[in-house]
């Protein structure tokens, strides 16, 4: 949910303004309203401070000055180049570049070539080695002899350089010593300077914040008065008012207006808070919007679990998340994400069990799995895993999609009504009544709660009211004929759009099915290697195939289970919920 804010306007005498800002920063609860970015970009002091901050960030990110990094990288590149050269000359064995030059000085010509094994002809030269489908040979020509021309043949000239593989290996050892020394210089610099860099970066950020606040201050009465605005959460309101009373500062406190770019501060429980970064990936809600995270979080967890579709994989994710959370596993890209990985793992384990998957095994059909434990599984919802002619998981994915979209439309209607009033949202309510009311009526009729006669009257009433909202009152004060035309166009867009949106949820079924089939394929391949009379070798092969296969399958499943549920949330749900996501996160002026 979004925390309620209060808008403050401060009017301070210019002599007291710096002291006031210092107190305000010490308290750290007010998000100062800054001027447009274009007005700040022209300030040379701010631009210099931002450039200095970027330099410190760069220095902190790479861990040492550019010179030390370049020296280390140059040595590393020389090692890579030398290794490549060593691989190229290794086939020629040991040779002495000085002796080769002496032969050339004596009138002999040595030319080195390689060609495909099948293309080599003995008269071309002396074969030295045969490796990787290629033959390496030397053409030796004495003084006064004419070398055979191999230009039009399959032979390719080779440059062997001045050092053989043995000498190059010695050179690599020397370069490795230089690399160790370069890394030692970097580590020594870090121990001596990295804390100071962090301190300077903190000071630079504070200076930038201070400068921005000063630039966002309006100077009135020939500079005698300073006026600045900001926003404070209501849970910090009393602290701010107490400070202002002691400082004897004139201020006004009001509720934010519609046109104010009010920052938002999210206030959610520990579970919903895990999914706030996902909301931030799309964009934070406006102050007058609903926070989508309480809906996005549980549905993303459900979608992710359906895409994984395996209890064994869910347990693995839970363990990985726990190890990351406790700091026992260090993966830089997942730093700070142990909690959400654990939550996704637990959800995947539960949903995977209900789907009957465990490391590629179908435990619903396994004779060794207890019958009582199969009772809550999804396959029991239908007949032999089907509802009519369709797989039960496909039907379940569609049902979840319909519920998700209906919830989105409900939130859109409430949100728009809160913002614009009911008169301007009649069309939105009409569509909500038509779709959600129609679905509920169909369910009641299918379960015989409503008889045929009552169902007919209910549908006529829903259709009539929806028609008025969609076609007659969609835009108050406009020509009714134009409203009808707009309603027809809206009907076309809504019909085709909703159908495509609902069908998009089939991906939840498809990804879970694909992951289960691939896991089963690795199990089958491992079983074939194990054979009917297993021994140590076949057991090792079985373990390697199954381990590699399931790790690979888990990685691919996690990628799909992240991307596709995110798409369903960001596209299908946010579009039908009317979510804009153009808000600004609450960032108080503080140390």
**pLDDT tens, N- to C-terminus, the chain (591 residues):** 889 999 999 998 888 888 889 899 899 899 988 876 555 666 777 888 888 889 889 988 888 898 999 999 999 999 999 998 888 888 888 888 788 878 888 888 888 999 999 999 988 988 999 988 999 999 988 877 888 888 888 899 988 888 888 889 999 999 999 999 999 999 999 999 999 999 999 888 888 888 888 888 888 888 888 898 999 999 999 999 999 888 888 889 999 888 888 899 999 899 999 999 999 889 999 888 889 999 999 999 999 999 998 999 999 999 999 998 888 888 777 888 888 999 999 999 999 999 888 988 888 888 888 888 888 888 888 777 777 788 888 888 998 998 998 898 888 888 888 877 777 777 778 777 888 888 888 888 887 887 888 888 888 887 787 777 777 766 666 666 666 676 677 776 777 777 888 888 899 888 988 888 898 898 899 888 888 888 888 888 889 998 999 999 999 999 999 999 999 999 888 888 888 888 889 999 888
Residue 343 corresponds to which tokens in the numbers above?
């939550």
Which single residue is written with the structure tokens 């579970």? 271
Distance CA 302, CA 298 (A): 6
Whether 515 and 308 have beta carbons less than 8 Å apart is answered as: yes
State the CB neighbour count (10 A cutoff) for residue 436: 18
- pTM for this entry: 0.76
Q: Of all residues in the chain, what percent are helix, strand and coil, respectively (each to 5)?
A: 65, 10, 25
Environment class of 575 (CB within 10 Å of its CB; exposed 0-12, middle 13-18, buried 19+): middle
State the CB neighbour count (10 A cutoff) for residue 120: 20
Among residues 181, 223, 220, 179, the alpha carbon closest in space to that of 74 is found at 179
Residue 374 is classified by DSSP as G
């Amino acid at each position: 949910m979004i925390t309620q804010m209060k808008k403050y306007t401060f009017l301070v005498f210019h002599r007291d303004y710096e002291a006031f800002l210092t107190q305000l920063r010490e308290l750290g609860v007010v998000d100062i309203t800054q001027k447009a970015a274009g007005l700040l970009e022209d300030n040379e002091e701010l631009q210099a401070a931002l450039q200095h901050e970027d330099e410190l960030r760069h220095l902190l990110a790479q861990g040492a000055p550019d010179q030390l990094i370049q020296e280390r990288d140059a040595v590393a590149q020389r090692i890579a180049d030398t290794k490549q050269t060593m691989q190229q000359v290794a086939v020629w064995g040991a040779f002495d570049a000085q002796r080769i030059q002496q032969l050339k000085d004596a009138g002999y010509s040595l030319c080195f070539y390689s060609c495909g094994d099948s293309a080599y002809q003995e008269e071309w030269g002396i074969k030295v080695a045969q490796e990787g489908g290629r033959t390496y040979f030397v053409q030796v020509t004495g003084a006064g002899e004419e070398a055979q021309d191999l230009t039009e043949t399959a032979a390719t000239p080779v440059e062997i350089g001045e050092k053989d593989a043995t000498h190059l290996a010695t050179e690599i050892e020397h370069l490795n010593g230089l690399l160790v020394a370069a890394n030692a210089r970097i580590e020594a610099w870090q121990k001596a300077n990295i804390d100071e860099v962090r301190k300077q970066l903190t000071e630079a950020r504070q200076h930038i914040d201070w400068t921005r606040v000063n630039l966002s201050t309006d100077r009135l009465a020939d500079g005698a008065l300073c006026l600045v605005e900001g926003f404070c959460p209501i849970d910090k309101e009393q602290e701010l008012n107490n400070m202002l009373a002691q400082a004897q500062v004139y201020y006004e406190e009001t509720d934010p207006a519609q046109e104010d770019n009010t920052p938002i501060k999210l206030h959610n429980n520990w579970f919903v808070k895990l999914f706030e970064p996902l909301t931030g990936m799309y964009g934070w809600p406006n102050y007058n919007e609903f926070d989508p995270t309480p809906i996005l979080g549980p549905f993303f967890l459900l979608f992710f679990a359906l895409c994984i579709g395996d209890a064994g994989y869910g347990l693995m994710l839970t363990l990985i998340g726990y190890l990351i959370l406790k700091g026992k596993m260090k993966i830089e890209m997942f730093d700070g994400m142990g909690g959400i990985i654990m939550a996704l793992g637990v959800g995947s384990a539960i949903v995977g069990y209900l789907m009957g998957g465990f490391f590629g095994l179908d435990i619903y059909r396994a004779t060794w799995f207890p019958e009582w434990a199969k009772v809550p599984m999804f396959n029991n919802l239908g007949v032999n895993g089907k509802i009519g002619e369709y797989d039960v998981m496909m039907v379940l994915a569609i049902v979840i999609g319909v519920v998700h979209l209906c919830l989105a439309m409900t939130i859109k209607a409430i949100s728009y009504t809160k913002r614009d009033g009911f008169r301007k949202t009649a069309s939105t309510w009409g569509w909500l009544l038509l779709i959600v009311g129609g679905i509920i009526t169909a369910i009641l009729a299918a379960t015989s709660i409503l008889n045929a006669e009552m169902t007919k009257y209910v549908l006529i009433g829903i259709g009539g009211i929806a028609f008025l909202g969609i076609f007659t009152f969609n835009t108050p004060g406009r020509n009714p004929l134009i409203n009808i035309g707009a309603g027809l166009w809206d009907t076309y867009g809504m019909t085709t759009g909703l159908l495509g949106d609902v069908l998009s949820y089939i991906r939840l079924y498809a990804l879970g099915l694909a992951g289960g089939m691939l896991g089963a394929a690795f199990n089958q391949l491992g079983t074939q290697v194990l054979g009917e009379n297993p021994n140590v070798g076949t057991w090792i092969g079985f373990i390697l195939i199954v381990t590699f296969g399931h790790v690979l399958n888990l990685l691919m499943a996690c990628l799909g289970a992240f991307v596709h549920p995110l798409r369903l949330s960001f596209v299908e749900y946010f579009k039908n919920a009317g979510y804009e996501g153009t808000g600004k996160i609450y960032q108080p002026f503080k140390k």
